[in-house]
Structure 1
Amino acid sequence: MTDTRALELTRRNYDAMAQRYADWVPGVFREQTLDLAMLRAFAELVGGQENPTVLDIGCGPGHVTSWMADLGLAARGIDLSPAMVELARNAHPELAFDTGSMLDLELEDASVGGVLAHFSIIHTPPADVPTAFAEFARVLAPGGLLLLSFQTGDAGPPGWTAFEHKVSPAFCWSIDAMSARLTTAGFDEMARLRVEAGPSDRFPGGHVLARKRSR
């Protein structure tokens, strides 16, 4: 059963800090050289799909969605926070942004060539992660690409550990545990990247690039 309390807390707190987040995060994003390299590889692969549409899930103020569009993709974004969606629409009026949850995507089956979840999975309770991955697989065309980014570390036997976050409870995952859950959901891992924590980071960053199985 979906943890609706976690959804409401995340929505409410991101609404409250939306403008501060939008003022801060795009500058930080542009400095993440290795993260950007993984995103470029993802964009190149999606661009080679029959349907080069990418869905940015947890798009925030739309900075990554816009960057995907600049790389030649038909990019659109969704976010749980209405305030974030409003900021994204105002900053990037040429792109489509909608309010929505990764646990219940309002898209047709097999309607996109790429799904991007750039550090947006972290507030999803572990029990709900399989639901999110099932939705990612549902909206992706066969052979479509997924790039999943998250805080990582040595998470112990469950594969994850909770940590305090200024917005709502968050979860740090081992890359192996996240990849295993993607495999169960119908994805095949193509590549992974661990970026060690910088001076202002609490955890290393983990990235898993995966392809939806064709059958």
Structure 2
Amino acid sequence: MSTTLVIGNKNYSSWSLRPWLLLRQAGVAFEEVRLPLDTPEFQARIGDWSPTGRVPVLHDHGQVVWDSLAICEYANERWLRGSGWPGDPGRRALARSVACEMHSGFPALRAQLPMNCRREPRERHWDQAAQRDIDRVQSLWSELRGQAGGGDFLFGRFGIADAMFAPVCVRFRGYGVPLAGAAADYVEAIYALPAMSEWLMAGRAESERVAHDEA
């Protein structure tokens, strides 16, 4: 196959989940290459695929695209006919702002609640910085869902903004973050996606363990 998406562990790799979910949910055909993180295999093979030494990276008929958001943008133009973003220019600008905020923000949330599909909720352990990130995410979800005017996702139909936030849904469930109202409904909608179910099942079945994501 001429289109290949190289990803890390499905259990841990939040950056890999984002473009994978968008492509799979849209029905785009691609070959998947999984390189287990923090392993000799990863170090030996990643240089053949990625100029940055990181995942994810997309190879499509000789075109190489790295970074989750860049891959989503490429997919939007290559296969989705622009449907990854809202059609209205104002809503599209808002969706891009939201996706970029997720892409570059929420450092405490990322550090203290790493994605782990196998994790079962235990006692709260995050600090106030992470709680501020959590509060911001839930406030944003509630605001966007209130403006969506139909559909189950941030801008109505599933799109790039939702793919960017999907790993946060896994984090919130895995760490037992209290959810209510629109935020709780949104997590349910993400988990109900067939492609999301496929990813989660595969992630939970993996045997590799990354120590710092299991603490």
TM over 0.5: no
Which has the larger strand fraction?
1
Q: Which has the higher contact order (CA 8 A, sep 6+)?
A: 2
If you compute each CA radius of gyration, which structure gives the higher value, 1 or 2?
2
Q: In which range does the TM-score fall when normalised by the shorter chain? A: 0.3 to 0.5
